[in-house]
Structure 1
Amino acid sequence: MKLLAFLKGKKGAMGIGTLIVFIAMVLVAAVAAAVLINTSGFLQQKAMATGKESTEQVASGLMCIGVTGHYDGTSGIDRIAIFITPNAGSAPIDLKQCKVLLTYDGNTVVLNYSGYTSATAGASNIFDSATITAWSNADATSFVVGKIQDADGSLDNGQVINKGDIAVLLIDVSQVFGESIPDRKEVSGQVQPEFGAPAVIQFTTPAAFTSDIVELQ
């Protein structure tokens, strides 16, 4: 009976103090909810951006579809042309930002972009410097980008290679290595784009040169 009387005698707390506590609790809950919503939105955007960059890095890249060399008539290969195309599903790649790494006789060099020419498209001899005047821009530290196939004009309008395009990189190896590459010598390297997988270069010069134009890879 005493317990029942005690419970009946209890009254709900009322007054301005209770109201202040209630409002404070509502405000704290609102602030916490806003922080959680903002944080979740930021994390969602960050995850989407990271996923896009990861997809580009994995799916994009270049492929080497051939390497052709020019025999100087006496010493060996003095110039090479590297033909490249994007990997299947690759995002467009800016060739101005690419690097070419070549290794020969224990020496590794890194070449940068130095120019562009469309004269290589349909040229009967890609090594004819009289027709392909851009060869003069290929020196000891750089390469020249040439057009082979470019239906949408992306190479002409900014040296960007995308689906269906074929480009050629013109390199004067006699300047790069200080000499022409003689017979039976191994050359390796890669064309490294700004993002994505590189195009791999690997060839050995022939045992004997029977023509001016040599298929190396």
Structure 2
Amino acid sequence: MFEELSIKEDRGQVGIGTLIIFIALVLVAAVAAGVLVQTSGLLQSQAESTGEDAQSEVGNQISVVGATGTVSSSSVSQVDLVVKKSAGSDPIDLSDATIEYTSAGASQTLVYDSGNANGNNFATTEISGGSATVLTNTGDRVEITIDTDAAELEGGNGIAEGEEVQLRIVDQSGATTIYGVNVPDSLGDRSYVTV
């Protein structure tokens, strides 16, 4: 009889130990689940933010409608780009944009200046839409002026006949538009050329 009692007592003690271990495991699992839920929420918000940024970089595009070069002593001394925003783009503020000017003899990063264009700055002029810097609607047009005489480091003689320049326009969202300026092989006696 005593043996049976001791066996029952042993079983009771084993049962309490197992219950304590079970409760500890449940508590550890609950804490781990809480950490996983918090981490997944943080990752989801970061993914949404990254997605929005990527969408604005792809969606916000500047379209070059036309480009004209001002001829001065057998080279193009100034380039004027007429730009608009692409359909579906958010408003684009050109005062926050940069233009990376790359040619055979120069590499400059131009920033906006409300005054005149020079070797470090580009200027804008309103054509239609009510603002000289912000493209709100697809019908808005702004002219960007780049002084290529000042931007060219070697000699400051603008872009010579037959040369090419790459303009990389980066707006405030990081979206990039690349435009290649190609000067005709012969400028002749013209004052303006399409580039």
Normalising by structure 1, what TM-score? 0.69
1:22 CA displacement: 4.4
Whole-Å Cα distance in 2 between the matches of residues 42 and 13 of structure 1?
45
What stretches of structure 1 of length at least 5 have no aligned partner? Answer: 1-5, 116-133
Whole-Å Cα distance in 2 between the matches of residues 191 and 46 of structure 1?
29
1:18 CA displacement: 5.5
1:199 CA displacement: 3.1
User: Which of 148, 157, 171 pairs up with 1:173?
Assistant: 148
What stretches of structure 2 of length at least 5 have no aligned partner? Answer: none
Whole-Å Cα distance in 2 between the matches of residues 20 and 32 of structure 1?
18
- The residue number in structure 1 matching 2:128 is 149
Secondary structure at 1:28 match in 2: helix
Secondary structure at 1:198 match in 2: strand
Q: Percent identity?
A: 31
Secondary structure at 2:33 match in 1: helix
What CA RMSD, in Å, does the superposition of the two structures yield over aligned residues?
2.9
Change in 2 beyond 3 A, CA 1:75/1:207 = closer
Say whether the 8 Å CA contact 1:144–1:170 is kept in structure 2.
Answer: yes
Amino acid at match of 2:135: I
Question: How many residue pairs end up in the alignment?
Answer: 182
- The residue number in structure 1 matching 2:182 is 203
Say whether the 8 Å CA contact 2:71–2:187 is kept in structure 1.
Answer: no
1:6-155 superposed matches below 5 A: 13=12, 17=17, 20-72=20-72, 74-115=73-114, 134=115, 137-150=116-129, 153=130, 155=131
1:167 CA displacement: 1.7
1:29 CA displacement: 2.7
Say whether the 8 Å CA contact 1:63–1:85 is kept in structure 2.
Answer: yes
1:95-150 Cα deviation digits (max 9, x unpaired): 223222334443333322112xxxxxxxxxxxxxxxxxx4xx21121111222222
Name the structure, 1 or 2, with higher relative contact order (CA <8 Å, separation 6+): 1
Change in 2 beyond 3 A, CA 1:167/1:21 = same
